[in-house]
Amino acid sequence: MKYRNLGNSGLKVSEIGLGTNNFGTNAKFPFHMRAAEAATIIDAALDVGINMIDTANVYGTGKSEEYVGKALRGKRDKAIIATKVRGPMRDGPHGEGLSRKSIFHEIEASLKRLQTDYVDLYQLHWVDKETSIEETLRALDDLVKQGKVRYIGCSNYEAWRLCETVWTSKSLNLTSIVSTQPAYSLLDRDIEAEVMPFCEEYNIGIIPYYPLANGLLTGKYKRNQPPPKGSRLEAKSDPYENANFDVIESLEGFAVNSGHTILELAFAWLLSKVTVSSVIAGATKVEQIQSNAAATDWVLTTSELSEISELLGDGVSE
């Protein structure tokens, strides 16, 4: 496993991270996991060098953090714990949001569930339009000074909000974000218009989630065939509503001709972006952890990137 700096910070994160939004959410679904299963997945991740463990207080309404904390007992120093705050956690006017009151309450609850006295990366999960960014950033700055948070980041922020966040931190001499976590994949490239150029200019690390486009880039979903039993898309009434199989099949053909899988291509392409620090991917099996980690071995050449751009309809490689 190789490691990259998280944005402009000195924090080293594994090129592949482990997403844990399937920990403890609803055990009746095959892709949601209980504590023992989660511990097995985290152990497998640590074994292959994955140190970036991404969770959030709302995942499983706290269960994900709880399972991560149990799994990392006695192994805390091997992991970079990234969690998030914003979503609904309890009843009442302060049960969610990014106010000082909510943030101070939620960090204590997260630390208790995670069984640690600090989190490495504390991320603003979504925008809170009812709270000023100054109030939010002052609260986070205090948490950094208290040692409960090492670095801060955000998720699902538009480019102009990222700019507002960075500008506010700089103008008030507050701790600034080092990363942002958006949806990004070969099939979802919206961030390339504005978010990515901003991150390049200010050296903000990008932590893509949904790198496999909800499984469409795993190779298991085929044109005119129903989703496999137990897969994420099986329960959807129109599982392939937004699937462009012309592009998917051309990418799969390119990967196979290169001696790889489309899954490996999905990760390798994201990691070809200099602003990407770590790619977040979930897993339900040890084999998935191992294949995700192995994908980092494929470093795309300039000619390969050019060919991929043509398959995506760009015609020009970045």
Q: Is 59 a catalytic residue?
A: yes
Positive or negative, the Cα torsion across 179, 183, 186, 192? negative
**What is the dihedral sign for C-alpha 218, 5, 85, 187?**
negative
The candidate with the shortest Cα–Cα distance to 68, out of 31, 94, 33, is: 33
Secondary structure tally for the chain: helices H, strands E: 10, 10
Return the residue matching tokens 């190789």: 2
Nearby residues of 14 by Cβ (< 8 Å), 6 or more positions away: 1, 2, 3, 49, 50, 51, 52, 80, 278
Asked whether the beta carbons of 198 and 8 are under 8 A apart, the reply is no
State both tokens at 105: 């309450």
**Start-end of H helices in 76-233:** 100-114, 133-146, 159-172, 195-202
Please tell me whether residue 12 adopts helix, strand or coil conformation: strand
* Residue 223 burial (10 A CB sphere; 0-12, 13-18, 19+): exposed
Tell me how far apart the terminal alpha carbons of the chain are, to the nearest angstrom. Answer: 25
Of 256, 251, 293, which Cα lies nearest the Cα of 51?
Answer: 293
Q: Report the candidate in 42, 33, 49 with the shortest Cα–Cα distance to residue 69.
A: 42
Identify the active-site residue in 59, 151, 157, 240.
59
Question: What b/e readout covers 12-26, taking b as 16+ CB neighbours within 10 angstroms?
Answer: ebbbbbbbbbbbbbe
Annotated catalytic residues are: 59
